[in-house]
Structure 1
Amino acid sequence: MKAIILFGHGARDSRWREPFDRLATLWRAQHPDTPVELAFLEMMQPSLEEAVTFLAGGGVTQITVVPVFFGQGGHLRNDFPVLLEACKKQLPGVKLSATPAVGEDLAVLQAIVDFGARAL
């Protein structure tokens, strides 16, 4: 079984995660047969390890982590690979992969341009 983890930075203000919760809700509505979980680098729960462990406990064998970051900054270049590798070692029966940051995708950038154009 395949699943997806939407991975964000995290923040002290709990309201910061509201768009992530909406994103997960949209995923569930549009892809009900593919589980989705949120995970955060810091300051919020669950951690990446907790989300991977939860999905694996539910029978998931293949997880794609989608970093919901605007760009490939230091956290994604330095911290994230270490976390992902630790999860791979902890759960060798689960195939883990990751996409680039969502902000690196042309369709995402175009959606932001379209959003700005609608504001005019």
Structure 2
Amino acid sequence: MKAILFVGHGTRVPEGNEQVKAFTKKAGAAFPEYEQRTCFLELAEPDIVTSAVECIENGADTLAVVPVLLLSAGHIKKDIPEELEKVQQMHPEVTIQYGSPFGVHDRINDLLLDRLRVKGWVPEEEADILFVGRGAKDPGAIEDFYRIAGELEKHTGRSRVETAFLAAAEPGFQEKMKELAEGERSVYILPYLMFLGLLIKEMDEAAAHYNQVKPGHFTRCDFLGFDERLLPVLESRVAETLEKDAGIHV
């Protein structure tokens, strides 16, 4: 029997974890024949090992592990595989199929543009769009982030796309905010984050700080979140994982 194990990042904000569960439940509805669990890498429960063992104890002999993450960085290449290796050592008889994150996808680009439009942005506006990523030490993840930013800028008309990271990469978010606060163009902060968490709070606090001096200068757009348009992306990642060869490789 195969089971699908969705792996979210996890956050100290309970609402964010509930959003992950709601999202995976909706995507998982396309695969009703498989037992399913949603777990978290850190900061929330259940963890990967606990959920995997539950599936195995319920009769699963194959685990299709699907990361609910945006880019292939350290969590994908190191942290999740380390947890899965623990499961494999505990249950060497079980087959583990390890999937891919969302990655670069046209649907995500369309959704980012929609997040801007909802806040009043139009292509004719001469604004700055601050595209903000979580950040990573992995060069491949940073390269993918810039690819997405480049595709975004092809559709932003007279607006200019700037980039920043919240951790582990440069330029830093706070540094870029300070720089853009000195300009005259309105700024739309566009988070490249999947779910609600403390990083969104950091953006809101920074925007509120600078808006005290220049009211309305910064507008924070919504994160990607639970959106129907992303469901086919996750469903495709599940289908790919179910067809993968056994092994915890990326």
The residue number in structure 1 matching 2:26 is: 26
Q: Which runs of 5+ in 2 are unaligned?
A: 118-250
The residue number in structure 2 matching 1:112 is: 108
Q: Please report the RMSD computed on the Cα atoms of aligned residues, expressed in angstroms.
A: 1.6
Q: What TM-score do you get using the length of structure 2 for normalisation? A: 0.43
Name the SS for the 1:64 alignment partner.
strand
Shift in Å, 1:24? 2.7
Q: What TM-score do you get using the length of structure 1 for normalisation? A: 0.85
Residues 1:24 and 1:69: Cα distance change in structure 2 (over 3 Å):
closer
Letter of the structure 2 residue corresponding to residue 11 of structure 1: T
Letter of the structure 2 residue corresponding to residue 111 of structure 1: R
Letter of the structure 2 residue corresponding to residue 2 of structure 1: K
- Aligned-pair identity (%): 26
Letter of the structure 2 residue corresponding to residue 27 of structure 1: A
Indicate the structure (1 or 2) with the bigger Cα radius of gyration.
2
Separation in structure 2 between the aligned mates of residue 28 and residue 76 of structure 1, nearest angstrom: 20
The answer (yes or no) to whether the contact 1:6–1:39 under 8 Å persists in 2 is yes
**Bigger RCO (CA 8 Å, 6+ sep):** 1
Separation in structure 2 between the aligned mates of residue 95 and residue 88 of structure 1, nearest angstrom: 8
Q: Report 1:90-105 matches (<5 A).
A: 90-102=90-102, 104=103
Q: Which has the larger share of helix?
A: 1
Q: Which runs of 5+ in 1 are unaligned?
A: none
Name the SS for the 1:36 alignment partner.
strand
Separation in structure 2 between the aligned mates of residue 112 and residue 81 of structure 1, nearest angstrom: 26
